[in-house]
Structure 1
Amino acid sequence: MSEWKQRCEAEWGLQGAPMPDGVDWKAVYEAAPLGKNLLKNPAPHGTTAPHGLSKDVPPPEPDLPEVPPDGPPRFQPDGDFTGWTTSTEVLPYDSSGIPEGAVICNLPTFSWFTMEQVVDLKAEGLWDELLDAFQPEIVVQDWYEESQLHKSIYQLQVKLLGADRSTVISEHSVSPTEELQNYSHNWKAVAHVFSGYGPGVRYVRFVHRLKNSFMNGFFPTLFTGSSVIVKPVKTSA
C-alpha cells in the first residue's frame, strides 16, 4: 500500500472502504474532501467578510429607516454572493386576510431570493468506488433567520445527481411554516443526512430560497452556515 493511500485510510478511518490502486491518493489527501464543507462562500451576508454572519451570534436587528428610501424597490439583500447562482422572483401582492371593503394604502412587496450551488464530488477529490459501494453519508445543514416577514420565508431543496447532472438519485426538500404569534428573532437550523442512497451519485445540487419584503424599506431574510459535508461513515438505507 502506498504511503499516500495509508495516510488517507488513517486520516479518515476508511477501513472497509474500497481504495483501488488506480486512484491518485496524493491528490485525494491534498484535496481532503471528507469532513469539510464543500459549499463555497457559505455565509455571504454581512460586513465581516470573508466570514460573514455566524450562527453563534444572533442575527442583526432590522434597520428601520426614519425616512422611506427613494428609488425603485429592492429585491436582493446585501452580500457577496460569489460562488452562488442567484435569481429573484417578485411575488404578486398578497391581499388575503384583508376584510372586504377595507381601504389599504400600501402593501408589502414580497420576493424570493434563490441561491444555488452544484458540488462536483469527483472534482472535490472523491472517487467512484467510494461513492458507489461505500456510499458515505452526505450531511446537509443550513441556518436561516426568523425574520417574521411571513409564514413562509424559507425553502430548501437538495438533490443527489448522477454523472449527467440531471438524473435524480435522491432528494430532500424543506418548506417550513413559521409561527408568527410570538416574536422570536434567532437562527433556525435545517439539516438532513443522505445515506444508503444507491450507486451513481456524482453531484450535489443545493438550492435554497429566502423571502424578502419591501415596504417603506427593504427587509431581507438572512442565512448563514450552509454546508454539504461528506463523512467517512457508511450506513444502510
Structure 2
Amino acid sequence: MSADDWKQKCRDQWGLQGVPMPDGVDWRSVHATKPLGRNLLRNPAPHGLTHTSPPPEPELTGVPSHEPPRFEPEGDFTGWTTSTEVLPEDGSGVPPGAVVCYLPEYSWFSMEQLVDLKAQGLWEELLDDFQPDILVQDWYEESQVDDTIYQLQVKLLGADRQTVISEHTVKPTENLSVYSHTWKEVSHVFSGYGPGVRYVHFLHRLKNKFMVEFFPTLVTGSSVIVRPSRSGR
C-alpha cells in the first residue's frame, strides 16, 4: 500500500474528515499503533479487579500480627511509578488518661504514569489544530477507611514535560455514616485545551489504614483515551 493509501485507511477507520493529516506522518505506523479510541495507560487494573464486579470484602482475622505496620497494598504495579507517604498518628481524639492499645496509622499510596502522546502515534497537527477530546476515567473502592481516601490529578503537559497546559484535580469526601462498599467513578473530558500538548501525566492517590490489620483502598479501570472527535468549542 502507498503512503496515501495508509492515510486514507486511517481517515476511514477513525472518521477523520476535516482533521489535519499531513504527508510527513508515517500513516502505516499510526494505523498499527491505533492511538485513537484505545486506553493509553499501561496496566489499568493493577489489583486484578474490574468495576463490573463488586470490590472484595476484606477477610479480617481480628488478631494482631505483631509485625511492623504495613502501608502499601499488594498488586502488580508494572507500568506505574509508585510511592508511599506515611501520615503521622493522630491521637487528638483520645481522652486524657485513656489507655489505647492501637491507634490507626494512615498512608497515601500514589501511582502515576506519563503518557507520551507522539510516541503513542498521535501527530502534532492533530493535537495542536484539531485538539481532540482526551477522556480520563478511574474507579476507586469506597473503602470506609477515612473520609478522604482518593485523589486524582491529571495534567496535559507541553514538550518540555514541565509546562502545564491544562489540569484537572479531584478530591472527593466520603460519607462514612452509610456503608456502601462499591466502586465510584471519576471521569473528565479535556477539550479545547489549546496547542502544545505532548504528554498526559496521570496520578492518583489511595489512602490505606493499618490498625491491627491492613485496610487498603483499591482502584481499577484507569484510562486515558484520545477520541477522534472534539467538543466544547
TM-score, normalised to structure 2, is: 0.96
Q: 1:94, 1:61 → 2: CA distance?
A: 26
Give the one of 70, 74, 87 matched to 1:78: 74
- Number of equivalent positions: 231
SS at match of 1:189: strand
Structure 2 alignment gaps of length 5 or more: none
SS at match of 1:26: helix
Q: 1:131, 1:96 → 2: CA distance?
A: 51
Give 1:107's aligned residue: 103
What is the correspondence of 1:57-96 to structure 2 with a 5 Å cutoff?
57-96=53-92
Q: 1:97, 1:190 → 2: CA distance?
A: 32
Structure 1 alignment gaps of length 5 or more: 46-51
8 Å Cα contact 2:62/2:213 also seen in 1: no
Give the one of 194, 203, 206 matched to 2:202: 206
Give 1:161's aligned residue: 157
Give the one of 15, 23, 26 matched to 1:24: 26
SS at match of 2:133: strand
2:193 is the alignment partner of 1:193: no
8 Å Cα contact 2:51/2:220 also seen in 1: yes
Post-superposition Cα deviations, 1:91-118, rounded to whole Å, max 9, x if no partner, equal 0112344445544321110000000000
Give the one of 212, 216, 222 matched to 1:216: 212
TM-score, normalised to structure 1, is: 0.94
User: Could you tell me which amino acid in structure 2 is paired with residue 111 of structure 1?
Assistant: S
Q: 1:98, 1:230 → 2: CA distance?
A: 50
Q: 1:173, 1:99 → 2: CA distance?
A: 37
Which 4+ runs in 1 deviate beyond 2 A? 94-105
2:157 is the alignment partner of 1:141: no
User: Could you tell me which amino acid in structure 2 is paired with residue 230 of structure 1?
Assistant: V
